[in-house]
């Protein structure tokens, strides 16, 4: 853990080293928000980070969405994603379950142009599969908005694991 004060007082390099992975393969969010220091709390830091995402160009946001891995993938994922997916049991799928997720992932990407994104912390594989089936009925604009909501949840949880508002004494 690092304190909000340590982040506020540190260098840009240190800031990005600690926070660059909060947004999947998108260190530009941390790079841009560093200039907005100081932050009163981790919650304020997260708000400013999300503001950077919402203010980004459509192509930049699409790249952020596309940087997320498929859920239940057997490919290499970031440490954050691996921990989150493991917690939801996505690393323990049967062959049949894996094939079902792979098929749903492919259908989702074909329809929306980016992978299915969900804050899976606290969810089961059945919760995730049900949400994926339901969200396939969304129109592209609604799903874009939902994906950004999920990114906000994911990144808030990740920040809570990294940043504390309390001094480490």
Residues marked active site are found at: 68
Could you tell me the two tokens for 15? Answer: 């800031």
Residue with tokens 């304020």: 44
- Asked if residue 65 lies in contact with residue 114, where contact means CB atoms within 8 angstroms, the answer is yes
Provide the 3-class DSSP secondary structure of residue 2. Answer: strand
Q: Is 31 helix (H, G, I), strand (E, B) or coil?
A: helix
Q: Which residues pair with 163 in a beta bridge?
A: 2
């Amino acid at each position: 853990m690092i304190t909000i004060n340590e982040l506020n007082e540190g260098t840009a390099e240190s800031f990005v080293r600690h926070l660059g992975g909060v947004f999947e393969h998108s260190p530009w969010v941390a790079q841009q928000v560093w200039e907005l220091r100081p932050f009163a709390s981790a919650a304020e830091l997260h708000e400013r980070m999300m503001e950077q995402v919402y203010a980004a160009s459509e192509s930049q946001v699409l790249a952020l969405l596309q940087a997320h891995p498929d859920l239940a993938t057997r490919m290499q994922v970031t440490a954050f994603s691996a921990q989150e997916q493991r917690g939801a049991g996505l690393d323990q799928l049967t062959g049949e379950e894996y094939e079902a997720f792979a098929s749903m992932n492919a259908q989702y990407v074909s329809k929306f142009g980016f992978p299915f994104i969900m804050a899976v912390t606290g969810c089961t594989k059945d919760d995730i599969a049900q949400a994926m089936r339901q969200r396939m009925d969304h129109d592209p604009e609604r799903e874009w908005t939902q994906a950004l909501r999920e990114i906000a949840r994911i990144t808030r949880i990740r920040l809570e694991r990294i940043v504390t508002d309390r001094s480490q004494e």
